[in-house]
Amino acid sequence: MTAKKVIVVSASWEEASKYVKKAVSELAKEMGFEVEFREEDYEFLDKYGVKNEYGGIDIPQVFIQDKEVIKYVMSRVPLNEKGQPDIDAAKKILLEAMGEKH
């Protein structure tokens, strides 16, 4: 799937949101794709997002959109061996979901 746009639904109160935004923003700058940031858009998450084991909606979540198709990509930035957010690993996940070579 070649993404026309990446959609990030985040919340200012959620610490993980800043890492997701950083990974997506850096990759968008490198690759030149459009990014749409949505703040606490629970309607969008209810329609397209992934729910946790209790039926709740996780935030943040990242999606790719190509035409009318919206596909979930990830909720959190993976952690490295030291337990720190791995921005490069998050970029790799997004690139793979977009069908790009890395």
pLDDT by position in tens, the chain (length 102) = 555 799 999 999 999 999 999 999 999 999 999 999 999 999 999 999 999 888 889 999 999 998 889 999 999 899 999 999 999 999 999 999 998 655
Range of the domain at 59: 5-98
What total of structural domains would you count in the chain? 1
In the sheet that 5-10 helps form, which strands lie side by side, from edge to edge?
Answer: 34-39, 5-10, 61-66, 69-74
Q: What is the pTM (predicted TM-score) of this model?
A: 0.90
CATH at 16: 3.40.30.10
CA angle 84, 1, 42 (to 5 degrees): 60
